[in-house]
Amino acid sequence: MAFDPRLIHLHPTDNVVTAATALLAGAPILLGGGSVTPAESIALGFKVAARDIGIGEKIIKWGVPIGSATAPIAAGAVVHLHNMQSDYLPTFTLDGERRYVAEHH
């Protein structure tokens, strides 16, 4: 599969790619089968769905599951806390007041 050079496909079985640079909303990116136009900007290091991913499906990066989809994810969409979760333990982030909060789904 051919990917945009600005996207890193770490392993052949991965269903997400990693942004190697900041990608702007509205600018098309090449994703394996074809071109998609992300609706949102994507920062360096963030994951992008390499294809459509169904709810409950494993998110595969480096060839291994790093969690599961909690919502349907369209090819080209950012994959992060809002649409996937750990299969292992909750992810803690800082809320607006810099307190630890667990992400629940």
Partner 1 sequence: MSQSTTDNSPGGAMLTGFLRADGRKGIRNTIVVAYLVECAHHVSREVVYPFRERSVHLIGFGGCYPNSYSLTMMKQLCTHPNVGAVLLVSLGCEGFDRGTLHAAVAASGRPVHTLVIQQEGGTRRTIAEGQAWVERTRAALDATPRVPMAVSELIVGTVCGGSDATSGITANPAIGRAFDLLVDHDATCIFEETGELIGCEHIMAGRAATPALGDALIATVEKAARYYTVLGHGSFAPGNAEGGLTTQEEKSMGAYSKSGGATISGIIKPGDVPDTSGLFLLDVVPDGDVRFGFPNINDNAEIAELIACGSHIVLFSTGRGSVVGSAISPVIKVCANPETYRRMTDDMDVDAGRILEARGTLDEVGQEIFTQVLDVARGTATASEALAHQEFVLTYKVFEPVGPSCHPHTQGA
> Which residues in this chain contact partner 1 in the complex, by CB under 8 A?
5-6, 8, 10, 18-21, 43-47, 59, 61-67, 79-81, 84-89, 91-94, 100
Contact 79, 67 (CB under 8 A): no
Cβ pair 61, 16 in contact under 8 A: yes
Using DSSP's 3-state secondary structure scheme, residue 29 falls into strand
Min separation Cβ 54 and partner 1, Å: 18
26 vs 92, which CB is nearer to partner 1? 92
Shortest reach from residue 91's CB to partner 1, in Å: 6
